[in-house]
Amino acid sequence: MGTRRLGVFLLLVAACAVHAQEPIRVGSKRFTESYILGEILAQTARGQHKAGLGNTAILVAALENDAIDVYPEYTGTIINEILRTEERLQLAEINRRLARLGLAASTPLGFSNNYALGTRRDLRAISDLTRLPELRLGFSHEFLGRRDGWPGLKAAYGLPQQPRGLDHGLAYEALAAGEIDVMDLYSTDAKIERYRIAMLADDRHYFPAYDAVLLHRADAPVRYPQAFAAFARLQNSIERRTMVRLNARAELDKVPFAEVAREYLGGGPASKRTLRAALFAPDSGRLLAEHLGLVFGSLVVAALIGVPLGVLAAKVGWLAQPVLALTGLVQTIPSLALLAFLIPLTGRIGLWPALIALFLYALLPITRNTHAGLAQVPRGLLQAGTALGLLSKDILYRIELPLARETIMAGVKTSAVINVGTATIAAFIGAGGFGERIAQGLALNDHTVLLAGALPAAALALAVHAAFELAERCLARRPR
């Protein structure tokens, strides 16, 4: 008994030691300031940064499902989007209500990043928009859907316009080019001065205060005491002008987010981002491994299910159209919509929703090609096999599948190449891969970062295509 107790004690000690070594997981949203703050938190606590996971709903789901432990948030967003109230609450009351969700807010960072509307027209206040229904408004997709965004703003001011949805990083260029007249701003945006944008006064005091804080799981300070002790040093340490300068380093000076954070934390001057440096950044190996895992993890499962489905459709005539129609229906669902549906369905973000989505997209080419390959086998060969006394399963494995092999392989190759491109969308829910760079490039409107994600993805698609071509040639040399 004593030996057993000692063994249990040692296992507990070992488990605690392993847990103590786990780095805290820091999340961030998909805009410049959140990327930078996420890097600052991760470097301060020597944690893991899961960058650009998406909007508020996805980050909160990540906290609730223990996918991340903490991320930078704003009090106004917590009040309106998470607590679903329009009351003006202090931090203590915010925490009292967050406790019901197993969450907490702490460590005010020292600045506010308030929502505002900006224009280059001769306007002074938001109420001026009511008399100019012809103005073209372009707002970020999150602002269009938030309780404290467009729906509430429209009701509070009685605005008659119908805004367009634009990525926040692209809206500045659209405003400068005269394609839109008004856009939503964050008050710490670095491009406000560069593009000479005037912030419209919120003369009806609609927008609440958006003080930057850390939103985390309620048990995170106990699980990661050293990390939160490090976070405490950041309390009230970042002024608004400092945050504007940090945003400018990323957006205007083209410095990588990690370098901006390192520079702020005293790591010395950062170097400007170049295409070569972005292509061969230290995270390239990780992104490649994640991308390959997404593509081939989903492809293997799709092949294991799609080939039998194609066989079933070929053998049972009345099932052919329902099976092909059902697998084809998935192709009509937009990638982001499918991912958004799978997050609440699986209760997770990141890997699993992305793998399921890619698996569903890979099914149609494999199933359809398997069905087509078997349908093309000459019936005379099947009759000859029956005359020789072969069973149905022997005919399938010895005659039909070998003859349909090249067609089936072509379907698998098509699915693999398609999935390489589709997998880039998975980064928008934190699944990693080269889509991370594409998401960052969109947030910054930086062509260098976009190319650093798009070029390796394109090269990987070509490499996968070439690998399957080689495999098909090798199979073609083998006797059927």
**Residue-wise pLDDT tens digits, 365-407:** 999 999 999 888 888 777 787 777 777 788 888 888 888 888 9
| Percent of the chain residues topping a pLDDT of 90 | 53
| Percent of the chain residues topping a pLDDT of 70 | 94
Helix (H) or strand (E) holding 447: helix 447-477
Mean confidence (pLDDT) of the chain: 87
73, β-bridge pairs: 213
Q: How confident is the model at residue 230 (pLDDT cuts 50, 70, 90)?
A: very high
**Residue-wise pLDDT tens digits, 206-223:** 998 899 999 999 999 999
Three-class SS of residue 383? helix
Over residues 120-144, mean pLDDT: 93
For residue 476, what pLDDT is reported?
72
Burial of 403 (0-12, 13-18, 19+ CB in 10 A): middle
Topology of the domain comprising 284-477 = MetI-like fold (1.10.3720)
How many residues comprise the chain?
A: 480
Asked if pLDDT for residue 3 goes beyond 70, the answer is: no
pLDDT greater at residue 82 or residue 147? 82
Would strands 115-119 and 70-74 be described as parallel, antiparallel, or unpaired?
A: unpaired
CATH 3.40.50.300 for the 24-112+210-272 domain, yes or no: no
pTM score over 0.85? no
Q: How confident is the model at residue 282 (pLDDT cuts 50, 70, 90)?
A: confident
For residue 17, what pLDDT is reported?
41
Matching CATH topology for 24-112+210-272 and 115-199? yes
Asked if pLDDT for residue 12 goes beyond 50, the answer is: no
**Residue-wise pLDDT tens digits, 177-187:** 999 999 999 89
Domain regions of the chain by residue span: 24-112+210-272, 115-199, 284-477
Q: How confident is the model at residue 318 (pLDDT cuts 50, 70, 90)?
A: confident
- Alpha-carbon dihedral 413, 418, 420, 423, rounded to 10 degrees: -140
**Residue-wise pLDDT tens digits, 162-202:** 999 988 878 888 998 999 999 999 899 988 888 889 999 99
Show the beta-strand stretches assigned E in 357-425: none
Q: How confident is the model at residue 269 (pLDDT cuts 50, 70, 90)?
A: low
Burial of 169 (0-12, 13-18, 19+ CB in 10 A): buried
Start-to-end CA distance of the chain, whole Å, equals: 63
Asked if pLDDT for residue 227 goes beyond 80, the answer is: yes
Asked if pLDDT for residue 157 goes beyond 80, the answer is: yes
Over residues 449-478, mean pLDDT: 88
Cα dihedral sign, 77-78-84-88: negative
Range in 30-44, 352-366, 396-410 with the lowest mean pLDDT? 396-410
Domain 115-199: which CATH number of 3.40.960.10, 3.40.630.10, 3.40.190.120, 3.40.50.2300: 3.40.190.120
